[in-house]
Amino acid sequence: MPECLVRIPLQFTGPGIAAQPRRAEPVSMVDVLPTLCELVGAHVPDGVQGRSLAPLLAGQDPPPGEFDSVYAELGYGGVAYGADEQPPLHFPYESPTFDELNSVTQSGGQRMVRAGHHKLLMDADGHGELYDVHADPAELHDLFGDPAYAGVRGELLVHLARWMVRVADDLPTGAYRPKTVPHNWRWARPSTTTGEHS
């Protein structure tokens, strides 16, 4: 999940969307559905993980903490295939064809959280990576084991755990009805994540 693949600009234009300078809040593709629902006055379906960006598009500021970080997932689960394993695919390994979405590349699971200019990744095997994406935009210097970054690593692990709980699937509705909040914003709290390494 390198920055060049996950940090993609998002632009909205249209009625009710304020002309404004570029905003810095990190957002996700899953935020598009609840945003469109709110813009057209539709109910956000139960279980939607994203946050509506409609107030931001109208020029309003979110509560502290709601957009301090962003979360992403990679992989469909199961155990990750090793570099030397070649299970059958829908194309031959020796082929000039390349398909990024296959049983090998999508095996296992990895989760990522980014806050400020630090990015943390964890995989299903417990392997972690930590990068300062401002100082190291190519993500070549893994800081996960660096004692000087223990505080940053700890804060990002808390962010990651909170995100994983937040995006967990709700039970089907019926006798159980989950409580909802406006715009699907849940974190109205002061930020604790440091933007700079000290």
The pLDDT > 90 percentage for the chain reads 40
Query: What's the mean pLDDT in 140-163?
Result: 96
Span 116-125, pLDDT tens digits: 999 999 998 8
Tokens 């974190």 sit on residue: 187
**pLDDT value of residue 192:** 44
| 3-state SS class at 151 | helix
The pLDDT > 70 percentage for the chain reads 93
Residues facing residue 72 across a β-bridge: 112
Averaged confidence pLDDT in the chain? 85
| 3-state SS class at 79 | coil
**pLDDT value of residue 198:** 35
Tokens of 112: 């990522």
Query: What's the mean pLDDT in 7-13?
Result: 88
**pLDDT value of residue 94:** 80
Is pLDDT of 21 > 90? Answer: no
| 3-state SS class at 183 | helix
Which pLDDT band, with edges at 50, 70 and 90, does 194 fall under?
Answer: very low
Sheet containing 108-115, strands listed edge to edge, beginning at the edge strand earlier in sequence = 69-77, 108-115, 118-123, 128-132
**pLDDT value of residue 188:** 54
Span 77-98, pLDDT tens digits: 778 878 788 888 877 778 777 6
Please give the domain boundaries of the chain with CATH numbers for all domains.
3-80+100-184 (3.30.1120.10)
